[in-house]
Amino acid sequence: MSGLHVGIIMDGNGRWARAQGKPRWRGHLAGVDSVRDVVRGAPDLGVTTLTLYAFSSDNWKRPRGEVGRLFWLLREYCQRERAELVENGVRLTQIGRRDRIPKSALAELKKTEQATARGRRLHLRLAIDYSARWAISEATKRLARRVEQGRLDCKAISCDTLRRAIANGVPDPDLIIRTAGEQRLSDFLLWEAAYAELYFTSVLWPDFRRGELALALSEFQQRERRFGGVLDAGDAAATAVGQ
């Protein structure tokens, strides 16, 4: 198993805290431990790109105190994990809007992006203030500006052109995992997920560790991916031998 891109919708922090009789922020704090363990374990499981849905654009609707705590956790994660990420060859980048991220958290995020820029073992992407619909609209705006500037013929715009504008060189996800039992994408990687395999688990995110990731990848390996085509008997036999 190599070269996999896995996206994870990290859900269930609040429910975990409620079940423990604790405030919601304690669930988010516990969720950071899951992030740490999954990031450490992912490369050994063949994952080279890991996209974590950390904060959606809709999450601004949450109570101000909870939102502030989430960005405090982002700042703390960047500060505390930076050296280990560098040591382990992990490159961290953020996708989504930046203009609304609190300055202190954004400063630490930028420092971590710069410090880890040479990481090649794992590309860790944090989706923060992220909306797939927003990302698609921004990509179309960039293409429109190129057309206005005479640098792109509108007739040359295709699905592949738009894909490149959205993904910025990152391969499409092979597998998207959502924890805590919900079964929807919630505006996460909508364009890129066209042929991704989906895996839903009832495990709450604070209880999700590298072992759970291994289970998801094991099931993924058993699935037959045809990308709209048909797998004939000969291909099936060859696939079986190669597994």
Instruction: Please give the Cα distance from 99 to 118 (Å, whole number).
Output: 25
**Which backbone phi and psi does 82 adopt, to 5 degrees?**
-55, -50
C-alpha–C-alpha distance, residues 8 and 31, integer Å = 13
Catalytic hit among 11, 129, 174, 187: 11
The verdict on whether 88 is a catalytic residue reads no
Measured distance CA(124)–CA(94) in Å, rounded: 8
The answer to whether the CB of 90 falls within 8 A of the CB of 126 is no
Structure tokens at 9: 């919708």
Beta-carbon contacts of residue 63 (< 8 Å; ≥ 6 apart):
none
* Calpha distance 178→202 (Å, rounded): 9
Catalytic pick among 59, 88, 172, 207 = 59
153: annotated active-site residue: no
Q: What is the DSSP string of 92-147?
A: EEEES--TTS-HHHHHHHHHHHHHTTT--SEEEEEEEEE-HHHHHHHHHHHHHHHH
- The β-bridge relationship of strands 197-200 and 47-56 is unpaired
Catalytically active residues are 11, 59
